[in-house]
């Protein structure tokens, strides 16, 4: 098994932990916990000494059944060697001069010590270490290589947290210089600029964390991988990164990769010479040449044919290619942003996606939150989409509070794209200027798209449909609101209220359907379905 095969799952797991939107102390503790789950790893720790303007940061493993790593002190001589050489392997600490006199390190079973330097912007800022049971003849080279990769990722995460922290401190200091009224106006104006210029609508913590990460990443030329479900705004984030980079005055080119054969992909991305193939009546410049000096977004990167992946890898690594039918090697300077909603790790394991290409494009992953995790953003998005509709068709529609409440309770598995379609469809069919909750298609069982999402499981930024989950509430419909199945559907009785319980509840409440629904812990709409299904006449006292 190759080294990358052995550690690919662990690298992905710890990268997800390191770049999650949490405080640095929590991030590093979660990071150490993730490392401690790797077979063979025992106690360990990461230590980042205090620097100018920054506080000391440490995190250790706390494995059950063994003493905490916080109980041990790594000798200064060992730390100095790690800081100097970048790595350290001691097969048996009991027989090492570096650990001489460190009684706490002595074991009945020989213990090995492995460490790697943590670097931020090529400067060593701390150490990451682990101990494991020493095994005779064991090759520690692979493990120290893995620990070095983990330390490298930790360094990138620390840099990101420090940059965001400095920005937050600077922003707070500036705001203190203004009066409270001007402060509120400035924040409001800042949000409006975000909505208008960057195309990203919302102010939820999950979204703001992703936006801040994107802005920090934009200052570098690092390759970015945008991950998230369909409809989460990957193209908008790619534009945001371009607009906040030094390349903002250069071209921003986007290209959707799927549904094209290898030959067409090569022609579209690299261009072709006149006469290169039948129909090539003139020379054509490809997307890489068009984006020279700027940014190129390759969407749905997980769908490109395996045969083309090797050619793409060469361009990413070397920045050079030849047009189809040409012999001249062309060099370009392009900032690459990739986007996918596919589980790339699974694709690598299934040999559908090249492992070397995976590591090349996933250097700086940004996971975009789905709409269901963006608390409070649905009203902002819905209002913006309705305003666009009014401007486009000369209408003067607005949402009633009940409509906003109804939208906020929907899950929208299709995310922002599905929400926009819902708003436009409802606005088109609205009979008055005020849109109420009863105007939405799901209230009359006409929201056909929601029927696709009866069992939804999310994994690594993509959605899978579980066909066996036939009784799961639809995520696209309001909570606790499940449209009935047709009479001939299998299992229909499981979704209906039993006739006796239904009549009993209605009699208890004087045949008030809303009160009966509360007793039965159902919605009034579900009670109405049950009444029609069982042929019960509605009585009024």
CATH code of 132's domain: 3.30.450.40
Instruction: Give the mean pLDDT of 371-380.
Output: 89
Distance of alpha carbon 441 from alpha carbon 439, whole angstroms: 7
Q: Which residue has the higher pLDDT, 460 or 37?
A: 37
Give the Cα separation of 209 and 228 in Å (integer).
14
Instruction: Look at residue 226 in the predicted model and tell me its pLDDT.
Output: 95
Select the highest-mean-pLDDT range: 57-61, 139-143, 419-423.
419-423
Mean pLDDT of 404-429: 90
From 167, 185, 220, give the residue that closes a domain.
167
Pair 145, 128 in one domain: yes
Q: Is residue 85 part of a domain?
A: yes
367 forms beta bridges with 227
C-alpha 160/C-alpha 216 separation (Å) is 7
pLDDT band, very low/low/confident/very high, at 181 (cuts 50, 70, 90): very low
Residues 281 and 241 in one domain: yes
pLDDT greater than 50 at residue 483: no
Please give the share of the chain, as a percent, with pLDDT higher than 70.
76
Q: Are strands 271-272 and 284-285 parallel, antiparallel or unpaired?
A: antiparallel
pLDDT confidence of 517, banded at 50, 70, 90? confident
DSSP string covering 67-121, please?
A: --GGG----HHHHHHHHHHSEEEES-GGG-GGGTT-GGG--SS-EEEEEEEEEET
Residue 338 shares a structural domain with residue 380 = no
Domain-located, residue 478 = no
CA pair distance 71, 484, nearest whole angstrom = 60
Question: What span, in angstroms and rounded, lies between the C-alpha atoms of 331 and 295?
Answer: 15
pLDDT-based confidence at residue 64 (cuts at 50, 70, 90) = very low
- Does 247 share its domain with 377? no
pLDDT band at 254 (very low <50, low <70, confident <90, very high): very high
CB burial readout 270-280, b (16+ within 10 A) else e: bbbbeebeeee
- For residues 169-186, average pLDDT: 53
C-alpha to C-alpha distance for 501 and 503, rounded to whole angstroms: 6
Residue 245: left (phi > 0), alpha (psi -120 to 50), or beta? beta
pLDDT of residue 453: 56
The secondary element (H helix, E strand) that includes residue 255 is strand 252-256
Question: What are the tens digits of pLDDT across the range 319-328?
Answer: 888 888 888 8
CB 506 within 8 A of CB 489: no
Checking if the pLDDT of 480 tops 60, the result is no
- Does 265 reside within a domain? yes
Do 520 and 461 reside in the same domain of the chain? no
Please indicate, yes or no, if residue 474 is contained in any of the structural domains. no
Distance CA 393, CA 428 (A): 10
211: CATH:
3.40.50.300
Question: Residue 467: pLDDT band by 50, 70, 90 thresholds?
Answer: very low
Average pLDDT on 224-246 reads: 92
Smallest CA-to-CA distance from 312 within 336, 339, 328, 291 is with: 336
What average pLDDT does this structure show over 271-292?
85
Answer yes or no: do 141 and 46 share one domain. yes
Q: Are residues 299 and 363 in the same domain?
A: yes
Residue 253 has a pLDDT of 93
User: Based on C-alpha coordinates, what's the Rg of the chain?
Assistant: 29
191 found inside a domain:
no
pLDDT for position 102: 61
Domain boundary among 148, 167, 186: 167
Does the pTM exceed 0.75? Answer: no
Confidence of residue 239 (pLDDT cuts 50, 70, 90): very high
Would 479 be classed as within a structural domain? no
Q: Do 283 and 352 share a domain, yes or no?
A: yes
| The predicted structure's pLDDT at residue 470 | 38
**What is the rounded average pLDDT for all residues in the chain?**
77
Predicted confidence (pLDDT) at residue 217 exceeds the cutoff of 50: yes
Position 458 scores a pLDDT of: 42
- Name the 3-class secondary structure at 187: helix
**Last residue within a domain, chosen from 367, 401, 419:** 367
Domain that holds residue 217: 197-367
Q: Does any domain span residue 539?
A: no
Q: pLDDT tens-digit profile of 285-343?
A: 889 999 999 999 999 998 888 888 888 998 988 888 888 888 888 999 999 999 999 98
Whether residues 130 and 8 share a domain: the answer is yes
- Picking from 190, 185, 230, the residue whose alpha carbon sits closest to that of residue 212 is 190
Alpha-carbon gap, residue 334 to 316, rounded angstroms: 9
Say which DSSP state 398 is in.
E
Question: With contact defined as beta carbons under 8 Å apart, do 414 and 456 qualify?
Answer: no
Q: Where are the beta strands (DSSP E) in 381-461?
A: 398-399, 434-435, 456-459
Residues 312 and 412 in one domain: no
111 and 234 fall within a common domain: no
Confidence of residue 243 (pLDDT cuts 50, 70, 90): very high
Which pLDDT belongs to residue 485? Answer: 38
Evaluate whether residue 541 is within a structural domain: no
Mean pLDDT computed over 398-418: 89
In this prediction, residues 331-358 reach a mean pLDDT of: 91
Tell me the helix, strand and coil percentages in the chain, rounded to 5.
50, 15, 35
Cβ-based neighbour number of residue 434 at 10 Å: 13
User: How large is the average pLDDT for residues 242-256?
Assistant: 93
End-to-end Cα, the chain, rounded Å: 77
- 383 confidence band (pLDDT: 50, 70, 90): very high
Residues 258, 298: Cα–Cα separation, whole Å: 10
Q: Which residue has the higher pLDDT, 540 or 472?
A: 540
Q: Is the per-residue pLDDT at 456 higher than 90? A: no
Domains of the chain: total: 4
Q: Please tell me whether residues 389 and 363 are part of one structural domain.
A: no
Is the model's pLDDT at 133 over the cut of 80?
A: no
Element (H, E) at 4: helix 3-18
pLDDT at 51: 66
């Amino acid at each position: 098994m190759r080294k990358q095969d052995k550690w690919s799952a662990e690298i992905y797991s710890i990268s997800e932990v390191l770049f999650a939107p949490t405080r640095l102390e929590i991030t590093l503790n979660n990071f150490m916990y993730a490392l401690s789950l790797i077979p063979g790893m025992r106690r360990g720790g990461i230590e980042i000494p205090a620097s100018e303007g920054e506080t000391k940061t440490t995190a250790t493993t706390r494995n059950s059944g063994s003493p905490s790593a916080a109980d041990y002190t790594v000798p200064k001589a060992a730390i100095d060697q790690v800081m100097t050489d970048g790595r350290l392997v001691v097969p048996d600490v009991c027989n090492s001069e570096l650990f001489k006199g460190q009684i706490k390190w002595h074991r009945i079973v020989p213990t090995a010590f492995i460490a790697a330097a943590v670097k931020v912007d090529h400067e060593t800022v701390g150490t990451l270490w682990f101990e494991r049971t020493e095994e005779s003849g064991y090759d520690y080279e692979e493990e120290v290589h893995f620990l070095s990769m983990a330390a490298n990722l930790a360094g990138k995460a620390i840099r990101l947290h420090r940059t965001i922290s400095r920005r937050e401190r600077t922003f707070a200091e500036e705001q203190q210089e203004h009066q409270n009224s001007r402060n509120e106006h400035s924040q409001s104006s800042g949000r409006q600029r975000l909505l208008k210029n960057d195309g990203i609508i919302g102010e939820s913590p999950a979204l703001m964390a992703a936006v801040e990460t994107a802005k920090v990443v934009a200052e570098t030329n690092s390759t970015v991988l945008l991950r998230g479900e369909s409809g989460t705004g990957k193209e908008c984030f790619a534009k945001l990164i371009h607009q906040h980079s030094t390349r903002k005055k250069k071209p921003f080119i986007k290209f959707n990769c799927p549904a094209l054969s290898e030959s067409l992909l090569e022609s579209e991305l690299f261009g072709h010479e006149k006469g290169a193939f039948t129909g090539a009546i003139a020379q054509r410049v490809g997307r890489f040449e068009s984006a020279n000096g700027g940014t190129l977004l390759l969407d749905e990167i997980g769908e490109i044919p395996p045969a083309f992946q090797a050619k793409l890898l060469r361009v990413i690594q070397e920045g050079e290619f030849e047009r189809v039918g040409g012999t001249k090697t062309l060099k370009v300077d392009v900032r690459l942003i990739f986007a996918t909603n596919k589980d790339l790790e699974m694709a690598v394991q299934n040999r559908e996606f090249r492992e070397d290409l995976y590591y090349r494009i996933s250097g700086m992953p940004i996971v975009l939150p789905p709409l269901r995790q963006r608390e409070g953003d649905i009203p902002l998005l819905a209002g913006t989409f309705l305003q666009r509709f009014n401007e486009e068709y000369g209408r003067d529609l607005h949402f009633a509070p009940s409509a906003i409440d109804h939208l906020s309770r929907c899950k929208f598995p299709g995310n922002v794209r599905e929400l926009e379609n819902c708003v436009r469809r409802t606005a088109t069919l609205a009979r008055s200027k005020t849109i109420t909750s009863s105007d939405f298609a799901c209230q009359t069982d006409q929201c056909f798209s929601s029927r696709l999402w009866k069992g939804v499981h999310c994994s690594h930024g993509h959605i899978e449909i579980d066909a066996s989950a036939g009784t799961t509430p639809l995520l696209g419909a309001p909570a606790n609101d499940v449209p009935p199945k047709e009479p001939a559907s299998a299992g229909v009785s499981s979704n209906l209220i039993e006739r006796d319980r239904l009549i009993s509840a209605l009699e208890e409440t004087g045949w008030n359907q809303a009160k009966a629904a509360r007793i039965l812990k159902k919605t009034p709409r579900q009670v109405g379905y049950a009444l029609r299904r069982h042929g019960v006449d509605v009585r009024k006292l």
